[in-house]
A and B are shown apart, each in its own frame.
Chain A
Amino acid sequence: MNVIINGRVRQLAHGATVAQAVMAVTTTTCGVAAALNDEVVSRAAWDATRIAEGDRVEVLTAVQGG
């Protein structure tokens, strides 16, 4: 299925989780947060939260700024 991770369309298996979406864009999970369709998903819920066709996942981390 197609999901949009950080603004880019990516292919993930049906029934994929937020944890798998995060792993698609980064190997480190330290200092990383994820949102599914503009709702933050806590790290503890990544494995249990399934994503669906067309969902938007944002994976953010701290960078230099301010």
Chain B
Amino acid sequence: MDDPLVIAGQKFTSRLIMGTGGAPSLEVLGQALDASGTELTTVAMRRVDPAARGSVFEVLRARGIRPLPNTAGCHTAGEAVLTAKMAREALGTDWVKLEVIADERTLLPDPIELLDAAELLVADGFTVLPYTNDDPILARRLEQAGCAAVMPLGAPIGSGLGVRNPHNIELIVGAAAVPVVLDAGIGTASDAAVAMELGCDAVLLATAVTRAQRPDLMAAAMRDAVRAGRLAYLAGRVPRRRYAQASTAPPSH
């Protein structure tokens, strides 16, 4: 079935966006990315390390995976805008996963700084994919600011708690005219399937795969869960009923 994910006019066959944080090595990361089938994967921007061996950018480039630089670690709109501009220069892409974090304990987005940064980056020609709270009104404001997608969290980054407020995610999906990407909080395959069944257009995850006992196996599980959840959403689930409904016609005698 031809059912591409389309973000800012760019088509993707896979609806699984991967992160790269937490993998024990670039080799393990590469195996996981291969198994995931992802076509879009996040990287962070940091000071060069003269002792570093290999490069995550090369791991992506060798596989034809589009890099999605993020602004992880930024606490203000100003920091995020500078980081996005550095990423555009270093990686040759104007796509950015916009993260503006309020504090280290929760890693929750700072909505005021986030919206401010989104407006500045859109005005500068960036394709902005903001990591946001599961707040339908903030999602709407980000879309109105010109973001190419909205990426509400299922639960805090790295928590593996799944989709804690499915009702809000449904409200965001129901109102958004841009793709909705469930970002953060996925712990295992069923969480990813739930996100897709709620109508999200894609799932972005890292920790659930990179810190799994077998990252390559979990990556394959996520690939299949995202597909299964998408198909179930498109198929339209049966209504929930209080009592049984026979699936076999009663005997006629």
Contact = CB atoms under 8 A, between A and B. Distances in A.
Given A62-B55, A63-B43, A66-B20, A26 B48 contact: yes
Nearest to B86: A33
Of the candidates B22, B47, B85, B91, the one having the most CB atoms from chain A within 10 angstroms of its own CB is: B47
Interface in A23-61: 25-28, 30-35, 38, 40, 42-43, 58-61
Interface in B54-85: 55-58, 67-70, 72, 82-83, 85
B111 interface: no
Contact of B47 (A28, A58, A64): A58
A40 B72 CA distance: 18
Interface residues of B, number: 38
Contact of B45 (A25, A27, A43, A60): A60
Contacts of A20: none
Question: Could you tell me the dominant secondary structure of chain B's interface residues?
Answer: mixed
A62 B44 contact: yes
B164 interface: no
Contacts of A7: 47
A59 B47 contact: yes
Contacts of A42: 89
B89 A63 contact: no
A62 B50 contact: no
A60 B206 contact: no
Contacts of A59: 47-48
Given A27-B50, A32-B48, 6 more contacts: A60-B48, A61-B57, A66-B20, A66-B21, A66-B68, A66-B206
Interface of B: 19-23, 26, 29, 42-50, 52, 55-58, 67-70, 72, 82-83, 85-91, 97, 99, 206
